[in-house]
Amino acid sequence: MATQDDRRSPLTTETGAPVGDNQHTETAGPGGPLLVQDQQLFEKLARFNRERIPERIVHARGAGAYGTFTATRDVSRWTRAAFLSRVGKETEVFARFSTVAGNLGAADAVRDPRGFSLKFYTEEGNYDLVGNNTPVFFIKDPSKFPDFIHTQKRDPYTGSQEPDNVWDFFGLSPETTHQVVWLFGDRGIPASYRHMNGYGSHTYQWNNAAGEAFWVKYHFTTDQGIATLTSEEAAVLAGRDPDSHQRDLREAIERGEYPSWTVRVQIIPAAEAAGIRFNPFDLTKVWPHADHPLIEIGRLELDRNPENVFAEVEQSAFSPAHFVPGIGPSPDKMLQGRLFAYGDAHRYRVGVNADQLPVNRPHATEARTYGRDGRLYDGRHAGAANYEPNSSGGPAETGQPLWAATRVSGPTGNHAAPPHREDDDFVQAGNLYRLMPPDEQERLVTNLAGSIAAVSADRDDIVERAVRNFRRADAGLGDLLATAVKQRRGR
């Protein structure tokens, strides 16, 4: 935890109460789920969701398409989800791809993670899988998310993204190192949305008909092959065609070249999670494939463009809290924070009835709720009872939970996650660097050096912290980066 410098005034809530811990979310024991009583977290997330209108705070710039998920493996031993229940079963899907930091008018061909969001219109309701094109993320606790995004957005004084802010946060948050290596490597700028992988990124729970629970990670491997752009190629393309990725997806589907992805999962029995090398609920970590092999379960194909971008892409609303029977959350802190934040953002941005819009409402079943009124309400319930329980034959609870219970223990409080034997912020970042061929390593150093060298001349402390984190991941990477940055800064 960061220490309080006596020269700095204490951080407070919006109402002036001092904040004791701004780095760790309050949980039920060190490894348990988040607590609603952590109002510092919910105040930060709720306020963050309302900072811009009407476009999305993050992932504003995007493109979408409809398609089909086809199950190719019997996974009933792990989950009772109906859309995964038999080989050959098809489920309609809407996909949205996006950049993260740019606004609605930003260029597509930039160095940025890509959102990879899917809405499965299943017969048991909609299931949303809201991921990225990287298997990890920058941070592991949702309390840090608004602060992180502020460093990526426009500075309140200059109105531009500032390298000082970016690298100050990265250097003071070593957990970002793994994702930063991904971002500044070759895959940091996909050539198109069709030529990138997708990942659920978070850990989710699957549970079967017998009540057994499993932890799962999703992988979507592009059947078109990985294709990327160099920084130089991207700069030219972004200037020539800011809509390059959106245009590529739309025109490929119009030509009948339907993009597809092979869907695989990694699975860990819930009882084994505590004993594995890395914390399985840490979003800054991957599960090594040698330990937990990929299992193919299906195929995703996109074959229909939206008729209206605003109605179907801009108003599409995804939330990781949209589960179906057999699938549920895990104690992943970032996921737990997103369970609240995404739905709250859509209620603010689109309206409390966002899920009644055609792109968002269930297609294979009917939503039966007691929600009424508000912006966009279409009066579908007429004069039916708007409360429950009632004696007028309205919908009633099933008594059947969607997912298996998770055991928790320990005192409430602001906890760091319980450590696993190989947990640190640098091992996997170093492993990723050493997996790269020499030419990609060279491009990584060039990309990082170019960004770090842009830090203000009087902020060598920011530069030194950034380089030190990469040196802890791999000594050779750190040495090469230090030399490259010094050369660019003329030191």
Active site amino acids: 59, 132
| 8 Å CB contact between 103 and 160 | no
Residue found by looking up tokens 């949209």 in the block: 322
Query: Please, what is the Cα angle at 116 between 98 and 79, to 5 degrees?
Result: 160
Indicate if the alpha-carbon torsion angle 100, 104, 106, 107 is positive or negative. positive
- 457: buried, middle or exposed (CB in 10 Å: 19+, 13-18, 0-12)? exposed
Neighbours of 73 (CB within 10 A): 15
| 8 Å CB contact between 108 and 61 | yes
Q: Fill in the amino acid letter for 149.
A: I
Distance CA 225, CA 229 (A): 14
Q: For residue 432, what is the enclosing H or E element? A: helix 427-435
Distance CA 198, CA 52 (A): 27
- 196: buried, middle or exposed (CB in 10 Å: 19+, 13-18, 0-12)? buried
Neighbours of 192 (CB within 10 A): 23
Q: Fill in the amino acid letter for 7.
A: R
Q: Cβ neighbours of residue 297 under 8 Å, at least 6 residues apart?
A: 71, 72, 73, 75, 84, 263, 264, 265
**Residue 311 carries which DSSP code?**
I
Alpha-carbon torsion angle 140, 144, 149, 154, nearest 10: -150
Distance CA 305, CA 309 (A): 9
Distance CA 371, CA 367 (A): 10
- 345: buried, middle or exposed (CB in 10 Å: 19+, 13-18, 0-12)? buried
Output the CA–CA distances (angstroms, integers) from residue 81 to 74, 86, 87, 126, 196, in the order listed.
Answer: 11, 10, 13, 12, 27
- 405: buried, middle or exposed (CB in 10 Å: 19+, 13-18, 0-12)? exposed
